Amino acid sequence: MLIQKSKKQMIKLVEVLNTGGSYNLREVIINSAHIVSIVADDYHAGLHANGKLPEGLHEAQQFSRVTFTNGTEMVVVGSPDITGQKTKNVLHG
């Protein structure tokens, strides 16, 4: 029996970018199959609390550090629970 792998592995996240000392946000689409871990990122939460991140984010906004199979990391807007739920919904339908 041939098991067909779901092609719906791409998820949309909002990345926090440090561009020469200022911070910007951008939407990214990633392959969720390459995520190794998702952990809370208190450093960026502190930056947000001190007004260093772009305006428009909720005052209680949380952030996550996503690690990929190739060892790279990305900081995204959202708690690890929310980010993980997006991945789970894609991988398990």
- CATH value at residue 28: 2.30.29
pLDDT of residue 9: 86
| Domain coverage including residue 85 | 10-92
Sign of torsion, CA 56 16 65 76? positive
User: If DSSP codes are grouped into helix, strand and coil, which group holds residue 6?
Assistant: coil
pLDDT of residue 1: 46
In terms of DSSP bridges, do strands 22-31 and 35-40 run parallel, antiparallel, or are they unpaired? unpaired
pLDDT of residue 7: 55
Global pTM value? 0.84
Number of domains making up the chain: 1
pLDDT of residue 90: 61
Does 4 map to a domain? Answer: no
pLDDT of residue 21: 83
Does 3 map to a domain? Answer: no
Q: Which residues of the chain have pLDDT under 70?
A: 1-8, 90-93
